[in-house]
Structure 1
Amino acid sequence: MSEVVNGETSLAQRWCALQLLHDRIASDVEKVLQPRHGISVREFSLLEVLERQHDGEGGHLKMQELARSVALSQSATTRLVSRLEERGLLTRYICPTDRRGIYTEVTDKGRALLERARPSNQESLNHALDALADEEEFASLVQALRS
């Protein structure tokens, strides 16, 4: 990663390192979540965001808010929500005050899966970060994540 200008790596290089760090961590976490809990990193993230960043009572978000929160397009979020809904982990319903809005919320089955998967997610995150902290190009990013 070593194009150094005036003693500093370029912003573009740091951005690439951040993307690579994300991809490597996601890959490592996926290898744990999928076999143990039958859930992908994206699915876990969506359920986690939905459960923790809900809109008031009831633990729900509008689809467009959810898409923004998980950094996916609205169509990709809709497909992901549909898969989770088919598995009984989420439910969707029309907003009672705005018939154009669709809310999504985690079901009891989804909350139970999250509770079982959270320790595995945390363990695999820590393991991935420990491994990456020893690599020079990622050390400062890992440190920033952990602080």
Structure 2
Amino acid sequence: MNNEEQRSLKLFVVLSRAAQSIMKRVEEDMKHYGMNPTEFAVLELLDHKGAQPIQKIGTKILLASSSITYVVDKLEKKNFLRRKACPNDRRVTFAEITEEGKAFMDQVFPKHQAVIHQLLGGLNDEEKLPLIEQLKKLGKFAEKD
């Protein structure tokens, strides 16, 4: 294995471990609010982007579509979202955040955002900006066929 291949492997390991460490702490924060990461992601999507077709939510939050119905059911039981039929296409059902879900996110999201900011405090703003661009570039390259 040459030096460039070794650095690529080292980058992969370090990136994976950093992501796992951060996600573990983020998941712990979400549990304080009685949510799992998937429920939180769906609610955050609906809060920030408005009503979404249930069939499209999975691709927007990187989740298998087979799991979405289960998550939507759980959030509906908590009165955080409701299903709404599409007036133009009977095959499409939207998920829409409720007032209770909106109030929950208004209360919880700023705290959650502060936790993420604290977790990423190992880098200053000047270090974060180029890293964001580099990781985007890396992700886009990995998506190529």
TM-score, structure 1 normalization: 0.74
Q: Which residue of 2 aligns with 1:77?
A: 68
Q: Which residue of 2 aligns with 1:29?
A: 26
Matches within 5 A, 1:1-147: 5-6=3-4, 9-10=7-8, 14-35=11-32, 37-53=33-49, 59-131=50-122, 133=123, 144-145=131-132
TM-score, structure 2 normalization: 0.75
More helix by share: 2
**Distance in 1 of aligned mates of 2:99 and 2:14:** 38
AA aligned opposite 1:76: S
Is contact 1:60–1:103 with CA below 8 Å preserved after alignment? Answer: yes
Higher relative contact order structure (alpha carbons within 8 Å, sequence separation ≥ 6):
1
State the aligned residue count.
131
Tell me how far 1:71 sits from its aligned partner: 0.5
Tell me how far 1:128 sits from its aligned partner: 1.7
Structural RMSD (CA): 2.8
- 1:13-51 per-residue CA deviation (whole Å, 9 max, x = no partner) reads 54554444333222212222322x222232222111122
Q: Unmatched 5+ residue regions in structure 2?
A: 135-145
**Distance in 2 of aligned mates of 1:146 and 1:124:** 22
**Distance in 1 of aligned mates of 2:118 and 2:67:** 29
Is contact 1:50–1:66 with CA below 8 Å preserved after alignment? Answer: no
Q: Unmatched 5+ residue regions in structure 1?
A: 54-58, 134-139
**Distance in 2 of aligned mates of 1:67 and 1:16:** 27
